[in-house]
Chain A
Amino acid sequence: GENVEQHPSTLSVQEGDSAVIKCTYSDSASNYFPWYKQELGKRPQLIIDIRSNVGEKKDQRIAVTLNKTAKHFSLHITETQPEDSAVYFCAATSGSARQLTFGSGTQLTVLP
């Protein structure tokens, strides 16, 4: 089955700096890669996703890049703000089954 590894487990940045979180996956058939943000005590919230036929996708301060050859994808947050502080999870899914396999999560702290 699919295995998703996520790094780093914790990340602290100064407000206004950029943050990058990286994930690798094992199943070359995986074709959909979402990122979720989870604030303490809240549900995971889908913030951006990318499909395997696209190399990069942007949404305001958030971008995701995908390297299919290397089987890794990354989340980039620019101009970070304190409200970006949360746990971020990457995930991967493949084919018709559509089950998500999650990474272990990254605790992002944006220091004011």
Chain B
Amino acid sequence: SAVISQKPSRDICQRGTSLTIQCQVDSQVTMMFWYRQQPGQSLTLIATANQGSEATYESGFVIDKFPISRPNLTFSTLTVSNMSPEDSSIYLCSAEGSGGAEQYFGPGTRLTVT
């Protein structure tokens, strides 16, 4: 399985600011994804990070709020822009495994917006 790391592991931010979360995979992968998990809730897909093209966003998520970069096959960033307390959540990246369907998750970034 892919080994996935994320930075930062947690952060406390003031409303109106932005935070960029980094996701690094130990091998080249075609598909990377970003999810949000609110406390005690399930995982919701934010977007698919496409290498060499714009990310594909799910309903309810927009590029201006959650810009994503995917400069190569091992790295992606998610920015949470103009944050409000409602953005307080855990943000997880995932990457596909060698089988092409399974996904493995990073450890997550716990974001608190005050």
A102 to B33, CA, bound (A): 14
- Are B45 and A43 interface neighbours, CB within 8 A? no
With both beta carbons as reference points, the residue of chain B lying nearest to A101 in the complex is identified as: B45
Which residues, 21 to 35 on A, are CB-close (under 8 Å) to B? 32, 34
A32 to B108, CA, bound (A): 24
Instruction: Supply 16 further A-B pairs (C-beta < 8 A) apart from A44-B43, A93-B101, A100-B103.
Output: A43-B108, A44-B105, A49-B101, A51-B101, A89-B43, A97-B48, A98-B100, A98-B103, A99-B33, A99-B58, A100-B33, A100-B43, A101-B45, A103-B42, A104-B41, A105-B41
The 5 sampled A-B contact pairs (Cβ below 8 Å) are: A36-B105, A43-B106, A93-B101, A97-B48, A98-B96
Binding site for B on A (CB under 8 A): 1, 32, 34, 36, 42-46, 49, 51, 89, 93, 97-105
